[in-house]
Amino acid sequence: MVLLASASALYFLTICILPQENGQNVPRAILEIDSALQDTAETNFLLKFKVLTEARVVAVVNASNSFQLDKMLDKIRSLSSVEITSEPLMDCETFARSLEISMELSKQAGKPLQRQNLFWVDINIEYTGKTTQEFLQLWKRDLEFVMGAKNQGALAIEAFKVLAQRKVKTFVSFPLPDMEHTIEFGTPMYQENGNNVRMVCKRIEFLDDYVSKIKNESKQA
């Protein structure tokens, strides 16, 4: 029997800290989660965030061995009362190339996420009133618009498509808090298909920044 090497796969992880009858020490749980979510030879965490005002951590991980990722998540479950869900992802650059967007446009790195005015936006897209071909052409133009803005430094964004769904997870930072509406409503997808687009927006913070605040507060206590 030939054992094939596991291909790496992207996952979006949601870790919700559950309430307990006697209360839950959320800062301690956050520290335990952060300690467990560390890069290894088989797992590379691309992004890790604390959802502000919620007892929730989200992360994007590239895993070459899903069994080892499971072991890592089981360790978190053994330390804290949590609920963990995952969704398989495709990075938007790969998706863009599947829509025949130019390699030059899809390969450019663009501006990194900033630490201020940082948001996680879940986007669900339907296309009632359009043919599949019309919708895919619109999605192509929308990605070209977003990637162009990113490559020019006008937009700091990381985006991932959920596999087998018309759902996109984006992480974006804005120079000013009110700029999100300007960019959001200016995209081709929203202008031409806005009645079929649903968004859920959460303010987030890089997990390492949030953990630093917990540790600094503990030192001062």
Residues 6+ apart with CB under 8 A from 124: 166, 167, 197, 198, 199
- All structural domains of the chain, each given as residue ranges with its CATH number in brackets, are 9-89 (3.30.70.1060), 92-205 (3.30.70.1060)
Q: Is the pLDDT of residue 17 over 70?
A: yes
Q: What is the pLDDT of residue 1?
A: 36
Give me the mean pLDDT over the 65-92 stretch: 95
Please list the alpha-helical segments (H only) found in the chain.
26-36, 66-79, 92-98, 103-107, 132-151, 179-186, 188-193, 207-220
Q: Is the pLDDT of residue 207 over 60?
A: yes
Q: What is the pLDDT of residue 155?
A: 84
Residue 212 CA: distances (Å) to CA of 27, 82, 115:
11, 22, 14
Round to whole Å and give the CA distance between 15 and 103: 35
Q: What is the mean pLDDT of the chain?
A: 90
Q: What is the pLDDT of residue 50?
A: 98
Q: Is the pLDDT of residue 6 over 70?
A: no
Give me the mean pLDDT over the 39-59 stretch: 97
Residue 31 CA: distances (Å) to CA of 107, 114, 221:
35, 23, 17
Round to whole Å and give the CA distance between 80 and 75: 9
Residues 6+ apart with CB under 8 A from 220: none
